[in-house]
A and B are shown apart, each in its own frame.
Chain A
Amino acid sequence: MKKNSWFVTIATTLGFAFLYIPIISLIIFSFNKSKLVTVWAGFSTKWYAKLLNDPQILGAAWISLKIAFLSASLALILGTLGALVLVRFRRFHGKSLLSGMITAPLVMPDVIIGLSLLLLFVGMEAMFGWPAGRGLTTIVIAHTTFCMAYVAVVVQSRLVDMDESLEEAALDLGAKPTRVFFDITLPVIAPALVSGWLLSFTLSLDDLVIASFVSGPGASTLPMVIFSKVRLGVSPDINALATIIIVVVAIGVVIASTQMKPKKVS
């Protein structure tokens, strides 16, 4: 009875083709000899060599990785605290404010977040002299703010699903609250923490708009460099970069999904 009709099957096949044809074309033309990204002129890996010798791209990539690592880690701490507070604490001043603010960045257009944070930084600099200028620090703050929303949502749903009597059982067996948190709560929500961090890391690596607003001279992230190159037209070394990213992500996702598969009951 649970069978999909031919219409649904065809529509799904076309849907997946729509999703993957651009990605596949990116990969194929990264190995193209010609500079024209669209006409096949033979196999070559020269664009990879060019990419790996491009100091601008490599520098931007390094900056982006640093920012992504810092923001993901900060967002993990802040988002987890926020989720814990919202799920576990019964009532306190500002609870509804916190729950409203923590998910709002999920749907806020990037241009608004970027503009508002830039105006804040400019205002703060005028008032307190901090942050002096804009660059890595301001991008990390901005990315942390919107990434913590994702962490909070992921961790929150895991906490809600968690059987609260697990914590009570540990308490009952003589563990003090802090001990309970590290022995029980943290290991149980660990998968959510991992996916929250990874999600934040990729979101930060991927962001162009917010970073463009709050960045300053000397802190061009990878998406900013790609954007300025792409605006001038297609170039095969960008295809090579895309291919590298796709391969890394695909390997990561496959590993993650095989690791997280639940073991069968014997």
Chain B
Amino acid sequence: MDTPQKIANGAKPWIEQAETPFIRISNLTKKFGEFTAVDNITLDIYREELFCLLGGSGCGKSTLLRMLAGFENPTSGRVEIDGQDMANVPAYARPTNMMFQSYALFPHMTVEKNVAYGLMRDGVSKSDAADQVADMLNLVQLSEFAKRKPEQLSGGQRQRVALARSLIKKPKLLLLDEPLGALDKKLREETQFELINIQESLGVTFIVVTHDQEEAMTLSTRIGVMDQGEIVQVGEPHEVYEFPQTRFVADFIGSVNIFEGRVSADATDYVRIHSQEGDCDIHVSHGVSCTENQKLWFAIRPEKLTISREKPRGKFNFVKGVIDEIAYQGNLSVYRIKLASGKIVRVTKSNRARHDGDAFSWDDNVYVSWDEAAGVVLAQ
């Protein structure tokens, strides 16, 4: 078997399909009584991927992760890891390890003992284990804290102990449940990159559960967006951001303006939508499979909109409104513009100059316009 190209070097096995998927989840369902936590999920994940399961609380992402770890038994469906069916494999015999949201560090053991625990269960000799633990603590920069108890560590240090402990057995698959959730913002940003570095250097496949879309975008090779037990979209970060397939995804990831409208002209290379609430006609420069007069939604990100005092040329792709609110955020400003229908449109504008003499102000009458390829048309 020839070695496939590394994901770290830019390979995309999910497109090339040259490799057999490392993890195959097929028709996986989990019910708790009447409640369906995970609803018929089918998903392939490739070796060395850093896959994020992204969704709000109660969307089923943690349950899915716990089924992979073996803490929950699926109601139906199948999980395969590296070609091996996991159905009868208990949690302690699976080639996976997990990093818990609460870190779950054993309070009565030192850092060293915590990290060594997995090795001892595998019957690794004391001296071998000590060497491996020392290397691992070195990797996560905790060597000097080896003799401490978890309660004597800071949040960030505990997070790294948890990571070290879950990596020490060199699992084929590492499951991370909200790995950065308990850290403050600044530490979280630093740790994100550390996590990516460790993942790339060890070549372990990661599945990360998170509710933080920024974290998912930064970390992952691909994101699976979950809602009500289902995976609603799988894609690379820029795909789910720029080409959301549903209004839920568009709205969940980043900020978005959505105009409801009906198809007024449908051609092979363009489509036109008339929106009542925007009082505008939208021209989209690519074909969309739809029928005349069908109800559709046009979604566009705030940073892809431009504000002007003058009416833009042409008949399409602008709306007229009044500036209702301006939020200055330093690097950019967010404008809330109220249309005649009462609808609010959000526009962001980066603050390039330190002082803008011609800045917009409250109650200014303005036009908001966009490029014909800047938004997406959504059917649901």
B97: which A residues are within 8 A, CB to CB? 172-173
On whether the beta carbons of B69 and A172 are closer than 8 Å, the reply is yes
Identify which of B70, B94, B108 gathers the most chain A CB atoms within 10 Å of its CB.
Answer: B108
How far is B96's CA from A169's CA once the two chains are assembled, in angstroms? 11
Instruction: Offer 13 A-B interface pairs, CB within 8 angstroms, sorted by A.
Output: A165-B102, A168-B91, A169-B104, A170-B117, A171-B92, A172-B71, A172-B91, A172-B92, A172-B98, A174-B121, A187-B108, A263-B152, A266-B152
Residues of B within 8 A of A (CB): 69-71, 90-94, 96-98, 100-102, 104, 106-108, 117-118, 121-122, 149, 151-154, 165-166, 169
Residues of B within 8 A of A266 (CB): 152
Interface mask (A181-199 → B, CB under 8 Å = 1, otherwise 0): 0011001100000000000
Q: Which residues of A contact B153 (CB under 8 A)?
A: 265
A175-B121, A188-B108 given; A163·B102 CB < 8 A = yes
Which 8 pairs from chain A and chain B are nearest by CB? A173-B118, A174-B121, A169-B104, A165-B104, A187-B108, A171-B91, A165-B100, A172-B98
Given A165-B100, A265-B152, A266-B152, is A173 in contact with B169 using a C-beta cutoff of 8 Å?
yes
**Residue ID in chain A nearest B148 by CB atoms:** A266
A266 to B107, CA, bound (A): 16
Q: Which residues of B lie under 8 Å from residue A170 when comparing CB positions?
A: 106, 117
Number of A-B contacts (CB under 8 A): 74
State the CA gap A171–B93 with chains docked (Å): 9
- Residues of B within 8 Å of A175, CB to CB, are 92, 117, 121
B91: chain A residues at CB < 8 Å are 168, 171-172
CB distance from A132 to the nearest CB of B (A): 46
Report Cα–Cα, A174/B120, bound state, in Å: 9
Instruction: Report the nearest A residue to B116, measured CB to CB.
Output: A173
Compute how far the CA of A188 lies from the CA of B100 in the bound complex, rounded to whole angstroms: 18
Q: Are B104 and A163 in contact (CB under 8 A)?
A: yes
Would A176 and B152 count as touching, CB distance under 8 A?
no
Q: Chain A nearest CB: distance from B46 CB in Å?
A: 23
Report Cα–Cα, A265/B94, bound state, in Å: 35
Cβ of A109 within 8 Å of any chain B Cβ, yes or no, is no
Q: Which B residue sits closest to A164, measured CB to CB? A: B104
Point out residues on A near B: beta carbons under 8 Å: 163, 165-166, 168-177, 179, 183-184, 187-188, 262-263, 265-266
In the assembly, what is the distance between CA of A46 and CA of B6, in Å? 89
Residues of A near B98 (CB, < 8 A) are 168-169, 172
Q: Given contacts A173-B117, A174-B121, is CB(A168)–CB(B104) below 8 Å? A: yes
Closest to A265 in B: B152
For the complex, give the distance between the alpha carbons of A179 and B117 in Å.
12
Q: In whole angstroms, how far apart are the Cα atoms of A115 and B104 in the complex?
A: 48
Assembly CA distance A7 to B104 (angstroms): 46
Give, as a whole number of angstroms, the nearest-CB distance from B166 to chain A: 8
Q: Are B104 and A174 in contact (CB under 8 A)?
A: no
A266: nearest chain-B partner, CB-CB: B152
Bound Cα distance A173, B98 (Å): 8
Q: A165-B101, A165-B104, A166-B107 are in contact. List 9 more A-B contacts (CB 8 A).
A: A163-B102, A169-B104, A171-B70, A172-B69, A172-B98, A173-B121, A174-B121, A175-B117, A265-B151
Complex-state Cα separation, A130 to B69, whole angstroms: 52
Nearest CB of B to A31, in Å? 45
Q: Name the residue in A169, A262, A266 with the highest tally of chain B Cβ atoms < 10 Å from its Cβ.
A: A169
Question: How many Å from the CB of A91 to the closest CB on chain B?
Answer: 11
Nearest-Cβ distance from residue B61 to partner chain A, whole angstroms: 16
Q: Which residues of A contact B69 (CB under 8 A)?
A: 168, 172
Q: In the complex, what residues of A have CB within 8 A of residue B106's CB?
A: 166, 169-170, 183-184, 187-188
In Å, the complex CA distance between A174 and B92 comes to 4
Inside 8 A of B92's CB, which chain A residues have their CB?
171-177
C-alpha gap A179/B59 in the complex (Å): 33
Contact call A262/B151, Cβ cutoff below 8 A: yes
Q: How far is the CA of A175 from the CA of B107 in the complex (A)?
A: 17
Taking the closest CB of chain A, its distance from the CB of B213, in whole angstroms, is 25
Q: What residue in chain B is nearest A264 (Cβ atoms)? A: B152
Residues of A contacting B149 with CB < 8 Å? 263
A72 to chain B, nearest CB (A): 23
**Shortest Cβ distance from B168 into A: residue:** A173
In the complex, residue of chain A having the shortest beta-carbon distance to the beta carbon of B100: A165
Are A169 and B100 interface neighbours, CB within 8 A? yes
B85 → A minimal CB distance (Å):
19
- Indicate if the CB atoms of A174 and B152 lie closer than 8 Å: no
Q: Which residues of A contact B70 (CB under 8 A)?
A: 171-172
Q: Indicate whether A168 sits within 8 Å of B118 (C-beta atoms), given known contacts A173-B165, A176-B92, A265-B151.
A: no
Q: Which residue of A lies closest to B121 (CB)?
A: A174
B93 / chain A contacts, CB cutoff of 8 Å: 174
CB distance from A90 to the nearest CB of B (A): 11
Q: How far is the CA of A190 from the CA of B94 in the complex (A)?
A: 30
Partner of B71, one of A168, A176, A179: A168
Bound-complex Cα distance A148 to B166 (A): 38
Distance of A240 Cα from B31 Cα, bound (Å) = 66
